[in-house]
Structure formats: structure tokens, C-alpha cells
Amino acid sequence: MAYSTGTAASPTALLQALATFLVAQGWTSAAAAVDGSGYRAHLHKGGVYANFRAAENEQIWDSNNTGSGYGIGLYLGTGYSGAADWQDQAGGPSVSSENFGVGMILPAGPFVAHHFHADGADNIFVAVEHTGGVFGYLGFGLALSKETHAQDLPYFFGSMAGFYTTSLQGVSTINHGTLAVSGTEPFAVHQTSDTFLNATGFVKVPSSIQPSANNWVSNGVGASPSGATGVRLGVPFHSVLNFNSSGAVLNEHPRWDYLKIIDRRVATAYARAFLAPPMLFAPDSITSRWIYLGSAPSVFGCGAVGNGWAAGDTLTVGGLDYLVYPNIACRHVP
């Protein structure tokens, strides 16, 4: 396992530091260059390409909320071409010929600190304390845990939907992952209405589950630019405005009994915190029943911060150490 921490003066400096960290973990840089007023970086390993864009008071997605701002955008793909825009690389989650992804909204900088984690099995987690006590997140990897599928299922997630990576202008319903409130658990959705969920996580699945969108499924629901890929990713974490018994929100959660466990993430009677794995599901195309895909290794939903632990503290469970951040814990070997 590898861990690096430091400070960055801007989104561009942050992305440059992350690219350096990834190269040290065996990723190969395909390109890294100034783009617009920001910066782009494309790295690959095992046939998976991680595409990044640092925004410096600009918009970076083809579908971008009104207003310019700062942040980091991310999506995975299968190739790189210098002739293509950062968002138009091959093999990404394509809907109507447009790739979608996730991000982390940021101020202009400098930032308090960044924390880069690599678990040695090509699962990467990034936590950035951009303002005192407020964190944004990105995570990605070559494969979910192999519990039901023999093949690798690449994944990525962020604390902000791609559409809102640089601006929340005119939006009042997203109450996490903002400039004032830390991101929440891995793959938790952003809700802007009862039936509109903005994608914050994607998994590449077998074509038998998802024959389109380059085989990517997401936790988005609704028309473009929600990031919905047509086949929904079932997620365990909820950060939505409300639940209803028949709408799209309910259908995003395969097992409500698991939600009850997650709602008890900390024990108030004694100092304990529960590590909730981000267990991910997709509907079978024939039976429409949920299929368990696996979980994102090394990261967990966790309510330790604010309940006996501070951000950056070490939580030890079963002899293993985890660094805790608001709503998230990450496996850590000092």
C-alpha cells in the first residue's frame, strides 16, 4: 500500500501531484498538458485509462451546469488520442455520443491538504481537504472485489456529479460534496428531485447486463445530463431528500435492510464505528432482478468523524488500520 499527503496551490497543482503519485504506483502517463486555463492528464494501466481535467475558473464538461468554477473531473476509458478533447476519449460512459463522469468541486486554492491512497491492487482513493474540515473525494480502480464475476469490473466515483464539477449555480438541493459540506459515502447519489438522480459513480459490466454506453452502468436516473446510462447501478448509500414507496429513489436500493444497518454506522454506547462496504448491484437484463457486482475495495462508508474521531485519525478494526474522513474510511498502512 502507498500513501502520500501534501498541499497544493490550485486544482492544476493538485492534478499534477496526483499524476506523479499514480506514475509511482505503476500507471503510465499517456499525456499531461495545459488545457484551456487548466490542465489535463491521461494515465493508463491494464488497458484502463483514467482521464482527468483540472478546471481553473472554467467549464470542462460538454454538459456543464451554468457558471464557471474550479474542480477536478474524472472518467475511465479504454484508450487515448491526442486529437480528441479530454472528455471525448475512447471507451468512456457514452450516452448520445457524449462521455459522462464525476468530479470534485473545489475553490481556487490553496488547499489545506490532499491525501492519496493506493492499496497495491490498483484501487486509488483521493481525499482533499479544500477548506478547513471540508473534504472532496475521488476514487477509481481496475476491478471491484471479485465475489460474483470472474472478469474485472473497472469503477470510478466522485463526491460530485460531473455536471456540477465546477458550479452549483442555481442548485439548492445538493447538500453534500459542496464547497461548504464534505462529500458523502462512495457512490451515494445527488438528488435534485424525486425522480432525478445525478450520477456520482460508474461500473463497467458485462455486455449481458449493459449492451450500450460502452457497457457502463451508473447510479444516475433521469434525462441527460444526469449521467444515467439506461441501466441503473444499485447503491447502498442514500443522501437523498426523501424516499417514496414507488419512485426511482426506492428502486436504487436493492435491499432496504442493508440501509437499516448503514443508518447505525456508529455506536453511541461505546467508541465503535462500523465500516460499511459500498456493495454495488445491477439489474439482470432477463429477470430484472438485482445482481451483486462486488464492492469497491479499500473504501467504506463510515460515520467515525464527529463521533469520537477527527478527520485523519486512525481507526483500527480487526487489527487493520483505516484513515477516517467525513463519511468515508480508507484502508491504510503507514
Q: How far apart are CA 304 and CA 215, in angstroms?
A: 35
Q: Total structural domains in the chain?
A: 1
Position 245 scores a pLDDT of 35
Instruction: Label each residue of 134-167 as H, E or C.
Output: EEEEEEEECCCCCCCCCCCCCEEEECEEHHHCCC
Position 152 scores a pLDDT of 93
Q: How far apart are CA 159 and CA 130, in angstroms?
A: 13
Walking along the chain (334 residues) 10 residues at a time, the average pLDDT comes out as 95 98 98 97 97 97 88 97 96 88 96 96 97 96 85 94 85 80 86 67 90 88 74 69 39 48 53 81 76 91 88 90 94 78
> What cell does 254 get?
436493492
The SS3 assignment for 88 reads helix
Handedness of CA 133, 237, 137, 265 (dihedral sign): positive
Position 266 scores a pLDDT of 57
Report yes or no: 65 and 105 within 8 Å, Cβ to Cβ: no
Q: How far apart are CA 47 and CA 43, in angstroms?
A: 10
What residue numbers bound the domain in which 36 lies?
A: 2-331
Q: What pTM was estimated for this model as a whole?
A: 0.91
